[in-house]
A and B are shown apart, each in its own frame.
Chain A
Amino acid sequence: GQNIDQPTEMTATEGAIVQINCTYQTSGFNGLFWYQQHAGEAPTFLSYNVLDGLEEKGRFSSFLSRSKGYSYLLLKELQMKDSASYLCAGMDSNYQLIWGAGTKLIIKP
């Protein structure tokens, strides 16, 4: 079956670094996505990885290891506005997104 696993909740301190892990199993693989979702809003796209390695985009970086079925989202210099849910999604061979349950990130001052 297809499955996406990520932690339910994480807490971090403003200004610090946090890594949100995601493991995936999909029928075929066409990439791994990370989305940010603030309460009451639709998800917004953060990153897309289809090849192994690290993709850096400002304060956010995303890593993929296809052999391990593993990805992480790294957030640096955390700000209070980064408090949100972070959704990991794998794209299967039909280009359909398989969603994780999301990781609620709580930022404390």
Chain B
Amino acid sequence: GAVVSQHPSRVICKSGTSVKIECRSLDFQATTMFWYRQFPKQSLMLMATSNEGSKATYEQGVEKDKFLINHASLTLSTLTVTSAHPEDSSFYICSARDIQSEWTQYFGPGTRLLVL
């Protein structure tokens, strides 16, 4: 089946630093990728929708200057958390939509971010 990878799987950083998370579709092409954030014991919260070659669409309340998204190719999207603070500590999950199927989304394994 389709595979989506995320890197890194876990990252610990100091407050004020920036962290980049990569999301790759390994055996299919994805024009659309989604970035979610999940706090403990809560459901997934969609942060932004990333379309290849265009600007990401951010959900209400998500700061686009803080969470930079780049979707430079059909297999790679990156999320950069700029000037991270402890409240940004969360589980970040990406999903990728198969170019051949609108309803099919495959999830990455997630990245756990801890900001000290």
Residues of A within 8 A of B (CB): 30-31, 40-45, 48, 50, 87, 91, 95-97, 99-102
Contact = CB atoms under 8 A, between A and B. Distances in A.
Nearest to A102: B43
Interface of B: 34, 42-46, 49, 91, 93, 97, 102-103, 105-110, 112
B102 A96 contact: no
Given A99-B44, A100-B43, A42 B93 contact: yes
A44 B4 CA distance: 12
> Most chain-B Cβ atoms within 10 A of its Cβ — which of A42, A44, A45?
A42
Given A41-B110, A43-B107, A101-B43, 19 more contacts: A30-B102, A30-B103, A40-B91, A41-B109, A42-B93, A43-B44, A43-B93, A44-B107, A48-B103, A50-B103, A87-B44, A95-B97, A95-B103, A96-B49, A97-B46, A97-B105, A99-B43, A99-B46, A100-B43
Q: B-side binding surface: helix, strand, loop or mixed?
A: strand
A44 B1 CA distance: 12
Contacts of A41: 109-110
A102 B42 CA distance: 8
A42 to B, nearest CB: 4
A2 to B, nearest CB: 11
A50 to B, nearest CB: 8
Contact of A95 (B91, B102, B106, B112): B102
A33 B103 CA distance: 10
Contacts of A95: 97, 102-103
Contacts of B110: 41-42
> Most chain-B Cβ atoms within 10 A of its Cβ — which of A41, A44, A50, A100?
A41
Contacts of A91: 103
Nearest to A4: B43
A22 B99 CA distance: 29
B109 A96 contact: no
